[in-house]
Structure formats: C-alpha cells, structure tokens
C-alpha cells in the first residue's frame, strides 16, 4: 500500500471511533415459554418437555421452547388435514386476502421481527431490518398476488393443491425461509406443518401469533418446534403429502432415502459458490460484491461466495483492496447498527468454522484476519481470507458456512470455468466483467442454478432460486415456486 493509500484507509474499529448505536429491545414482547402452534392455538407438548433458545451474542437463554414428539406432529398433521378441504375450496381471491394480510402485518411489525431475528440468530440488526424482514413480507405479497391467478400461471392445465405439506427449515435466515415455504404453499391451497430450526425458532413462533391475528382459518398453518426427532416425525408421517426441506446435504440425503414414494419432495441444500473476477471488471465494485458475498450474515448463507477466483494479472490489486475493505468491517454486538458482522449462530457452528480455520493453518496457506478485539462473551469469529488455496483443499471443496474466503487465481476463461465447476455443489456463482459476451458465455457454462453478473446475493420473490446435484432440487420463488405446491393433471 502506498503512503497516500494508507492515509486514506478506513480502519473503523481502530482509527475511527464510532459511538454505539444499539437498537433498543425493551419494547419487544417475548414470553418465557413457547408452546406448539396447532389448530390455531398454542398448546403444550405431549411430553411437556422444553429446550432453550440461546442468544448467540451473549450466550444467555432467551426462552424455553416446547419439544414436539410424534404425537404432537400427528396432532399438527391432523389439524392441517382437517383444515385442508375448506382452505383448498375457498375462492382463491379470499385465500389471497389472507396472505396479503399476513404480508401487511409483517410490515407493520417489521422492527419487532428484526430485533427477535437478531437476538435469536446473531445476525446484524441492519441486515435483519433491511433485508430479511422486508424480503419475507415481499414473499407473502408476491404469492398473495398469484393466489387468484393460478389458471393464468398455468394456462390450459388442470391444477390442484397437494394437500398437507411438511416444511423443515434451517437457522440462517429463519423468517425468510419460513416465508419462502409458507407463502407459495398457501397460495396454491395447501395446508402446512412447519418446523423451524431448533437454533432459531422465535420468529416462526412470532409468525404464529401474527397468523392468529390475521384470523387465518385454524389449522391452515401449524408450527411445531424441536430438533432432529421432530423433523423425522414430519418426514415419516403418512398424512404428509409433500416434504419441503431446506438444510444440510447430509440430512437432505437421509430424508431422500427414507421418504416413501407417495410423497413429493423438494430439497434445498448446501452450496459452495464461486465469485470470478476478470481483469476487465470494475475492480472496486467487484471487491465490494465479494465482501458482501462472503461476509453477509457471517457467511451463514447457502449461496455465500466462499471461493474467489481472480485473474492472475489483477491478483495483487484485488488482494490489496480486499484487505483494505475488510479493515473497515466492524465485528461485534449484532444489535449495534454499526455492526457489519455479528455473532456466529451457535457454539456448534463456531467450532465447525474454527476446525476449518485449523485446516487452512495446517495446510500452510497464507491468511489474513482482522485483529480487533472480539466481545468477551458470545460466539464470534474474525473474518478470514486464505490465499493461493489448493484446489484439493477441504477449504475449497466443503461448505464452511462462516466468514471464510479462499482465493485462487486463473489465467484463461477455460481455466476459470474448470476451477469454478470443480465442485459437487450447484447453487450459485458470480461473474465480474465489463464484457457482455463474456458474462453470457460464463453464465451458460457455469454449473450453478443461479449466476449473478456484476452483483451478488440478490434475492427477489419474482425470480426462482434453487439448485441441483449435491445442492438439492426444486425451485423457490417466482412462477416456478408455485409448481412445487401443485398437482398437474
């Protein structure tokens, strides 16, 4: 770095002192105990057992949540089955009205949802407020609009809802994942049993309260909490017509093995996305996109751009700018509006990420990490870059699901494509170039369901998102997201 560049570096945590801007949370109402939402009311679990939901930024317990066993799941499926005929027969315009109502109520209570998402999951309040919650509302708005237009979406085809859908979601974007699952299912006339992740169930339970306020007919949406056993009970229940799962590839494969043929299945699984920067790209914008691609939500994103491929001629410049941009990142209290990188979602996930950092260390790759002090309590991880990582390294092959970026180089387009496609995950990719022809060529040749050009991590309810190979199958969002919840006759 030249002297002039050093003078202008923005080391916010060190050279610049920001006054904390902590979001007040005293107006948010949280119960000490949450029961299961079945048939339109909150009911205690059959076992009367509870588990704790932990705030990852403080390690404090936030609330006790009921554990649903097979009997509770059976009750939830029965409630959904009972509600199905009248929900499916309801004039589609009326179904749409309920979904619009849910969307509007999410908007009205957006701040409350954002705070709970941050408390429960550790993501920066800025991201929860500006991205997760507005996108969740947008999803309900979008599918509310489709509810009475399904015949236009699929002209000349006879369509029917599937019935009762079991939906199982992960912890990285809890309300958003719930919206991705519930909104299209309801628009198509299905009823739902949803299980949020045991790490982050609170916004789903708040959504249950909101659904009650929206006066959705009892049993149309049921929300059961618990961990693996609750998920297995949903998958194996004979009264479920479709399982929609988002989570790890390991669990997705086990579901695929155990599911009976009569049930429909969609799997949204792991990713290992690449960002490719060509020497004709607008480098500053590309660096910004790469930083957003890997450090957004602490890297807990299935489509996180965790591999960077840089054209060799610009390697030095890109790496210098990446380091300089990283110096500006503030890691710390997720409830502070200044924070860019919050807490890792759980102790277990922190250990998993630290194990990957050790892999990088052991394999001898040069690395760069921020050196600022992390909060003493809570699960935090410094954002990390690894340079010149070998293609064979586990860091390049496996999903880390944390703020860790590997950097590799390429000389030719063919080499970039070969390295980019050398993964069994097929979720997303990013290309940074000034040349339209190169962008089209790459997006056709990259083996990824979503390819962003000169941008990254852009989500919109109107455009389908999905994957193939080890990343699963199925589409969420857009017209394609409706197909997942309809029978075509």
Residues assigned a catalytic role: 268, 302
- Which one of 228, 312, 414, 434 is in contact with ligand NAD (CB under 6 A)? 228
The verdict on 99 binding ligand NAD (CB under 6 A) reads no
Q: How many other CB atoms sit within 10 Å of the CB of residue 472?
A: 27
State the binding string over 157-176 for ligand NAD (x if CB under 6 A, else -): -----------xxxxx----
The verdict on 408 binding ligand NAD (CB under 6 A) reads no
The verdict on 117 binding ligand NAD (CB under 6 A) reads no
| Helix, strand or coil, per DSSP, at residue 309 | strand
| Helix, strand or coil, per DSSP, at residue 431 | strand
Total number of residues binding ligand NAD (CB under 6 A)? 30
Q: Distance (Å, rounded) from C-alpha 264 to C-alpha 485?
A: 9
The verdict on 359 binding ligand NAD (CB under 6 A) reads no
Q: Distance (Å, rounded) from C-alpha 123 to C-alpha 114?
A: 10
Write down the least CB distance from residue 171 to ligand NAD, Å.
5
State the binding string over 427-466 for ligand NAD (x if CB under 6 A, else -): x---------------------------------------
- Which one of 254, 367, 382, 421 is in contact with ligand NAD (CB under 6 A)? 254
Write down the least CB distance from residue 354 to ligand NAD, Å.
16
Nearer to ligand NAD, 47 or 151 (CB): 47
Q: Distance (Å, rounded) from C-alpha 16 to C-alpha 14?
A: 6
The verdict on 184 binding ligand NAD (CB under 6 A) reads no
The verdict on 268 binding ligand NAD (CB under 6 A) reads yes
Q: Which helix (H) or strand (E) holds 291?
A: helix 283-295
Angle at 419 between CA 290 and CA 341, to 5 degrees: 25
Q: Distance (Å, rounded) from C-alpha 396 to C-alpha 135?
A: 30
Query: Given phi > 0 = left and psi -120 to 50 = alpha, else beta, which region is 332?
Result: left
The verdict on 399 binding ligand NAD (CB under 6 A) reads yes
| Helix, strand or coil, per DSSP, at residue 110 | helix
Strand 36-38 relative to strand 450-453, pairing? unpaired
The verdict on 179 binding ligand NAD (CB under 6 A) reads no
Write down the least CB distance from residue 316 to ligand NAD, Å.
32
What is the C-alpha R_g of the chain? Answer: 23
CA dist 74 to 69, 81, 194, 238, Å?
9, 10, 13, 9
Binding region for ligand NAD (CB under 6 A) out of 66-74, 150-158, 269-277, 358-366: 269-277
What residues pair up with 64 in beta bridges, in sequence order? Answer: 33, 52
Both structure tokens of 103:
């969307």
Binding region for ligand NAD (CB under 6 A) out of 193-201, 275-283, 305-313, 324-332: 193-201
Nearer to ligand NAD, 105 or 235 (CB): 235
371 and 345 Cβ atoms separated by less than 8 Å: no
Write down the least CB distance from residue 111 to ligand NAD, Å.
24
The verdict on 401 binding ligand NAD (CB under 6 A) reads yes
Which residues are at the interface with ligand NAD (CB under 6 A)? 168-172, 195, 197-198, 227-228, 231-232, 235, 246-248, 251, 254-255, 268-271, 302, 399, 401, 427, 467, 471-472
């Amino acid at each position: 770095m030249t002297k002039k560049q050093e003078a202008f570096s923005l080391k916010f945590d060190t050279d610049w002192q920001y006054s904390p801007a902590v979001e007040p949370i005293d107006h948010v109402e949280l119960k000490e105990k949450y029961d299961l939402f079945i048939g339109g009311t909150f009911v205690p679990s059959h076992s009367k057992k509870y588990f704790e939901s932990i705030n990852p930024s403080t390690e404090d317990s936030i609330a006790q949540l009921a554990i649903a066993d097979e009997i509770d799941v059976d009750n939830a499926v029965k409630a959904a089955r009972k509600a199905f005929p009248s929900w499916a027969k309801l004039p589609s315009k009326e179904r749409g009205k309920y979904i619009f109502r849910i969307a509007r109520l999410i908007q009205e209570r957006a701040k409350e949802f954002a705070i709970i998402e941050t408390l429960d999951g550790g993501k920066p309040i800025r991201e929860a407020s500006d991205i997760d919650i507005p996108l969740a509302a947008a999803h309900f708005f979008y599918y509310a609009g489709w509810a009475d237009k399904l015949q236009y979406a699929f002209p000349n085809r006879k369509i029917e809802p599937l019935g009762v859908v079991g939906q199982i979601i992960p912890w990285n974007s809890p309300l958003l994942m719930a919206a991705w699952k519930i909104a299209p299912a309801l628009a198509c006339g299905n009823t739902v049993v949803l299980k949020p992740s045991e790490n982050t169930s609170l916004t789903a339970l708040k959504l249950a309260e909101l659904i009650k306020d929206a006066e959705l007919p009892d049993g149309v949406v049921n929300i059961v909490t618990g961990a693996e056993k609750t998920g297995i009970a949903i998958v194996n229940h004979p009264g479920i017509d479709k399982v929609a799962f988002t989570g790890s590839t390991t669990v997705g494969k086990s579901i695929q093995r155990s599911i009976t043929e009569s049930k429909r299945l969609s799997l949204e699984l792991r990713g290992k996305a690449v960002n490719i920067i060509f020497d004709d790209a607008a480098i500053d914008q590309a660096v910004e996109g790469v930083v957003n691609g890997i450090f957004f939500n602490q890297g807990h994103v299935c489509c996180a751009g965790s591999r960077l491929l840089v054209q060799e001629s610009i390697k030095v410049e890109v790496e210098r700018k990446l380091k300089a941009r990283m110096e500006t990142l503030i890691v710390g209290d997720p409830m502070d509006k200044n924070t860019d990188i919050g807490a890792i979602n759980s102790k277990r996930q922190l250990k998993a990420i630290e194990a990957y950092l050790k892999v990088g260390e052991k394999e001898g790759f040069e690395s760069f990490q921020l050196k600022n002090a992390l909060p003493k309590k809570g699960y935090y991880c410094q954002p990390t870059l690894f340079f010149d990582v070998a293609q064979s390294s586990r860091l390049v092959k496996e999903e880390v699901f944390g703020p860790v970026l590997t950097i590799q180089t390429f000389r030719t387009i063919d080499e970039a494509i070969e390295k980019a496609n050398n993964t069994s995950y097929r979720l997303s990719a990013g290309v940074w170039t000034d040349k339209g022809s190169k962008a089209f060529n790459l997006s056709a040749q990259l083996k990824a369901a979503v390819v962003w050009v000169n941008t990254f991590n852009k989500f919109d309810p109107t455009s389908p998102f999905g994957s193939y190979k080890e990343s699963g199958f199925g589409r969420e969002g857009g017209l394609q997201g409706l197909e997942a919840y309809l029978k075509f006759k």
